Chain A
């Protein structure tokens, strides 16, 4: 789960990272009042969960409160990469002499957190990794020892930070690590961390991503989820304990198991190409009882691009005939007109096929193999079935 810039910075601040004393606003009037209170030039920053806000015109400098209000009128409500800007952060503008990067991510291969610093701040770290990998200095953190001060100093010296800033830098690195740990974050980054004209370190922008698996022990963070930033169907799916990601194709996929769900998506694209392809990732999990299948069908059907539905269930522990009956019940509950291709493999697959075929419904087809299922789903989406 990703946090907005203002949420991330507030949290960094709580752990002792110096942040600008800005506030978040949802209307131009509020922006005016915050800017007047702050006095002097301010930056108006759109709060949307995508990169490239600046390039899209979502971050603007204002000389005074009047200008800030005018800018807020254009920024609030604008679309950035398909997301509507509903909030802006109003920060006092800072004069700075240097931008650096400081972040923590999980190093999957090492099984440890790794803190990274770069003298090239203000640029995406992935970009620096491509163009100038030597500019990134890394320190792996032992999860039992935590970040040691000497490691933070290694980072400071590695990026040629002037010595007079080392003490402040080490303190910020420790605060960021404490924040990362306490929040069960999988990413915590300050970019840029600037040296201001008066020689202070300040976290101008921040980003955090929280481990979804750890939200059960962070009710306060779970509440920060911005459901405006995701398709409504994804929010509904989460409530139904179904794993769903909306995509751009025309074939709605309903599958059990994440690996098989990805494979089913891949097959629809293999046979249907870019345009037809998968409309979604959907892992219905184990069991696949009628009410869960019905919930999954409703979620798939909420996407107007869907032209056909492909159900691919491997009955391991679950019996195929039970799944087949569940599908028929769910079809009735939901009332579905689109063509549906069903493939059930594994336990009682033969009985399952008979149930589907005996139902003799005009828009319901049975497929023996994954290849056949994907081909039928593509034909159905083209209206050729």
Chain B
């Protein structure tokens, strides 16, 4: 067992003929992910990495029986790619694209409600179930199978933590990057709930950052619903208010969303907070 994707996942790649899409499709195939095809409008009938390319998501799903899609499409066209995947009723949509206008994402977020799809991202590194499936851009070699569930807003910071866990012999059940945008399809609470219900996960690591209140909601959920131990780290304690720190969502606004407030809430919920991400494996011991 794992969450979101495993060896039974049948993945298509939207934007597979593009530079990013083609590069990462190859990496995912190398990792052992069951990539069954790709989509690029106007390039149906071509082949990339021995996988068939389709003009539409619907035709790709009909032909390959795909149950997941990953989107590497420029921000200008990403909303359209998302609507197309939702309309094709793909159960899992992972969107890597960074820089989608927030107005577009608010509509997509609304459209997702009541649909048959779950969206991970956008502006995220995707997810990885070690030894089974990589749906995203995480470097595969840093992870190893095990029982620690990792959920994070960040990319490279997550790699650091996952790599540190692996080096200490602590394998992972699934590593999930939810993304650093203000509006994302899957939040901390959704993933925590999946980990709580996943028999393969025994312990959880949560990596958050300044901005918004997703970590506060996570603290509330952990306090009231979680039985598995959680360790965490919050990035951005030194960030000045009102300035965006790279991620579109990483900003302290009106005194809200500070690292201090999040750390306090998580501590109060029983989460062991690391002052330094390298301490995390020790906190799970």
**With A262-B210, A371-B276 as contacts: A269 and B235 at CB distance below 8 Å:** no
Given the complex of chains A and B, what is the CA–CA distance between A161 and B212 in angstroms?
31
| Nearest neighbor of A245 in chain B, beta-carbon distance | B243
Bound-state Cα–Cα, A268 to B212, Å: 24
Instruction: Give the complex CA separation of A258 and B100 in angstroms.
Output: 17
Q: A109-B212, A109-B213, A213-B102 are in contact. Are A283 and B246 (CB under 8 A)?
A: yes
Nearest chain B residue, comparing its CB with the CB of A274: B238
Contacts of B76 in A (CB 8 A): 216-217
A143-161 with Cβ < 8 A to chain B: 143-144
Query: Beyond A277-B238, A281-B245, is A109–B217 a contact (Cβ under 8 Å)?
Result: yes
| Interface residues on chain B, number (Cβ under 8 Å) | 61
Which range holds the interface residue count of chain A? 35 or more
Judging by beta carbons under 8 Å apart, are A346 and B236 in contact? no
**Interface check B283, CB cutoff 8 A:** no
Q: Contact check, B278 vs A371: say whether CB atoms are below 8 A apart.
A: yes
- Would A314 and B243 count as touching, CB distance under 8 A? no
Question: Does chain B have a CB within 8 A of A55?
Answer: no
CB of B155 within 8 A of chain A? yes
Interchain residue pairs A-B with the least CB separation, the first 8: A259-B154, A258-B246, A257-B156, A259-B157, A214-B101, A111-B109, A126-B254, A316-B139
Chain A contact surface mostly: mixed
Where the two chains meet, the residues of A that have a C-beta atom closer than 8 Å to any C-beta of B are: 106, 108-109, 111-113, 125-126, 129, 142-144, 181, 184, 186, 211-214, 216-217, 243, 245, 247, 255-263, 265-270, 277-278, 281, 283, 314, 316-317, 345-347, 369-371
- Chain B residues with Cβ under 8 A from A259's Cβ? 152-158, 180, 207, 209, 235, 247
**B137 contact set on A, CB distance < 8 A:** 316-317
Q: Is the CB of A347 within 8 A of B139?
A: yes
Tell me the smallest distance from the CB of B86 to a CB of chain A, in Å. Answer: 14
Tell which of B103, B217, B254, B276 touches A143, judged by Cβ atoms closer than 8 Å.
Answer: B103
Contact A256–B212 (Cβ < 8 Å): no
Complexed CA–CA distance, A267 and B250 (Å): 18
With contacts A109-B212, A213-B75, A316-B139 known, is A281 near B101, CB below 8 A?
no
Interface residues as binary, B241-255 with A (CB distance below 8 Å gives 1, 0 otherwise): 001111111100011
Q: Is the CB of B237 within 8 A of A258?
A: no
Whether A281 and B213, one on each chain, are in contact in the complex, defined by CB atoms closer than 8 angstroms, is no
Query: Which one of B139, B142, B249, B276 lies within 8 Å of A270 (CB-CB)?
Result: B276
Please name all residues of chain B whose beta carbon is closer than 8 Å to the beta carbon of A181 when the two chains form the complex. 103
